[in-house]
Each structure stands twice: as C-alpha cells, then as structure tokens.
Structure 1
Amino acid sequence: MSSTEELLKRLGVSIDAGTLRLALTHRSYAYENGGIPTNERLEFLGDSILGFSVTDALYRDNPDLPEGDLAKRRSAVVSTRALAGIGRSLGIGEYIYLGQGEKLTQGKNKASILADTMEALIGATYVSNDIETARQLVMRLIGPLLKDAAALGAGTDWKTSIQELAASRQLGTIHYAVDGSGPDHARTFTAVLHVGGTAYGKGSGHSKKEAEQEAAADAWRVLSGAGNTPGAASSAGPVPAT
C-alpha cells in the first residue's frame, strides 16, 4: 500500500485519516476482515455530489443546450468508464484495500472498483471539509472531460455511437476481433474494431466488454475526425490490424 499522503497530494485535498481509509475500503476487504464498514455509504454520497456538480456546471456553461443534450453530456462524464479513467490517471488502484480474491483478479484495475472508489473519495472530501471543497475537486477531475466536446457528443455507449456513425455513412458491417492473454486470474483482452473490413480502432481491458468499448471509442474518434482528443488513435485513418 502506497503512502496516502501522496494520494491526497494528487487529489489536492485534505481528508482525515479515518475517513480516507473508509473511502478506500472495498467490500471484499471488509468481508475478509470481520465485516468492517465499507466505502459504499461514502460512494452513495459522492455520487450525488458528483451528479449535482456536473449538472450545475453544464447548465451554467451551456445556456443554449436543450435538456436532452445536457443529460447526454452529464452521462458521458459521470460514467463508470470516465471515472475509471480518472482513477487510473491518479493511480488510485494502488491505494484501495481489497480482499485476496480481488487482488488475484487485478481488482485494482477494474473499472467498476475504480469508479466506485472515486465517488467514495468525493464523498470523503465533503465529509472532511465542505460542499464547496468537494465541488472544486469534482471540477478539477471532470473539467477536462467537460471540454472534450467530441467525446461528449458520443455519450457513454461507444459501441452504439460507432454503429450509428457507420450506418449513417454506409461504411459496412462492424466486427470486433477480440483476443485474450495472460493467466485466468489476470487476463487482459485486446479488441480490434473492423468497419467494412477495415480496422479503425483498438482497445484493451480486463474484460471483453471493456476492450470492445475502448476499440469503439478509438474508431469513433478516427471516423469522426476527432483524432486529437485524449485517447484517440495516433493517426487519422485506419489502424493496422493485429
């Protein structure tokens, strides 16, 4: 377990030791240690703060957007995928208290666990400070995503978005080629997305679904001409298949 001082430095907030430990306590660890409290209550609290903070920012910064578009943008930045990405960039996984089973299956890299822990940390920031401190944390974390108009336009379901884009341009059928590697307890999947027989996107993850979503996002950015957004493919055209 890494020093929590470094974690707080990355977050840019102060959280008292007890609340921070609670925010980092996954239910698998709690179960193996006599049923101690988990981070789920803080996660519940953080989810509400996250939702309100993002909604408020979107409402104020986009006076001309209709309700449906505001809702779609909010969904994009508070999704499990988005929060997990933030968690990975901060190295949150190294600090989470996990049970042995989750450790063996690389729980520290699972999108659901990372996203839930991020919400718990937002809740912990509120409990240890106040609503404004928690809101500022949310804006520091989510702000860059709110400015990524291309990614927001696709929403949370990249597979649906790329399917709609391919259909509108009559590019042909979509096919995912997925390969797995590594031992069963730490398996990694790689997906290549083919549109009309051409490979346009690659992705990887700890499940087939996650890898396919990453590949769909990669392909969507390429085909939509948004190749300069974070996580986009390195070129503006098809990618080599593997």
Structure 2
Amino acid sequence: MNVLLVYAHPEPRSLNGSLKDFSVKRLEDAGHVVQVSDLYAMKWKASLDTCDSTHRQSNMPFDPSLDSKHAFENGLQTKDIALEQDKLVWADAVILQFPLWWFSMPAILKGWVERVYAYGFAYGVGEHSDARWGDRYGEGTMAGKRAMLIVTAGGWEPHYGPRGINGPIDDLLFPIQHGILYYPGFDVLPPFMIYRTGRIDEARYSKICDSLGQRLDALWKTAPISFRPQNAGAYEIPELTLRPDIAPDERGFAAHIA
C-alpha cells in the first residue's frame, strides 16, 4: 500500500522526529511504500494568498475559494501545491503527525491543508441542490482512503479526559478528524495519542513504539470512527441538520457519531 505521512515538527531530534522515523521504517519493513512531507524541512509556505496561482489578474479582489478553483481547473497552481495533491491521490492512507499546540495543529500544517485542499479538489465537489449538498462527509475525492492522526501532547491524559480541564481529546480533534479528513471522504481511524511528552524515559519510549507499531500494522484492519455520512439519510438537506429521530438526546460533536 502507499502511505503519505505529513509531518509537522521543526526539530528532527525531537520525540516527534524519532517517532516519524520509526513509523516510516515500520511501514516500509511491512512492504508499504512511504512518502514523507516534512513541512518544516520543505520550508512549506503556510499562508494562502495570491501567490498560489502562477497567473491571476492582479486588479481583481482576492477570493480564496474562487481563486483556488480557477488555479486548480486551469493548471495554474504553484508546483508545491500540485505535488502535494499528487501525493494525496497516490496514497492509500494518509497520516498527519504533529504536536498539539494551543489545542490544534501547528500553523504550518493548517496552512498545508488550506493551500492543498483546493476548490474542486477537496471541496466544492459534486452536485449541490435541495436533494444533495455535494460529495463530502464520507464521500468525495478521498473516498476509499484511510487517514489517522499521530499526536503528541504535553499534558497528562486525564487533562484531556471527559471531565478534564483541557476538554475531551475527541472534541479537540473533531475539527481535524471530521472537518479536515472525513469531509473530503477519508475513513478516519482513531487517533494515536502520546501524552505527557516531557516525562518520557527509555522504558516508556519503548512501550510507545510497541503500541504505535501495532497501530501501524493494523492500519488497514482498524475500524474507522463511525461518523455519520452526509448523504445517507441521517441529515435533512439542504438544512444539513440531523433528522429529529437521529440521536435525539445528543448535542454537539457526539451527535455526528453513530
């Protein structure tokens, strides 16, 4: 299988750097083909702006969506964007690896999403009508592919528990897992979390690698998170709200998981 690992940490000698190297070796030893997009090493441009098209009318106001659509449809995207899109099309599975900084992904990885997920490539796909609101949330360009997060956090695991001060980790990661990965069609696997990263000795590091290795070995066997597909009947269209009889007692993110 083909695996794309999109990696966002500035220090190769960090825990993240070591785990990235471990993951690549584990996957390759199992016979998979791996490409790594090391965003800091690539000096990835994080900002979405007018420079993302090789030719645009400079007198026109910049519209992020329409400019993205025009560049994608007319072969005017910059080379760095097109190369990352090619990697996504090539991949059978995508892993996003990053430290949890200020309750989200590093800005460079968010910028990778904003620039690579062009209109017509990752969104704005399919019929939009009163009966169907596009190919998204379980459908779309990435349908049939798998995705997983590898995330490190400095806080203790209970800090991110159901009653933890930082909020439940599933809620914090929902915009990434549901909004960035499930939206364009990925089957999203449960995340691999490493907590309390400032207190990792050799013995704990060995246990982390053992657990991570097992998750990577099961990349094509692990059941994905059971997000509700948008166009399978659970949602009223075009309102895009759950039918009254679906999870009637649930509110918020949890209502969108079957």
TM-score tier (shorter): 0.3 to 0.5
Length-normalised TM-score, structure 1: 0.33
The structure richer in helix per residue is 1
Length-normalised TM-score, structure 2: 0.31
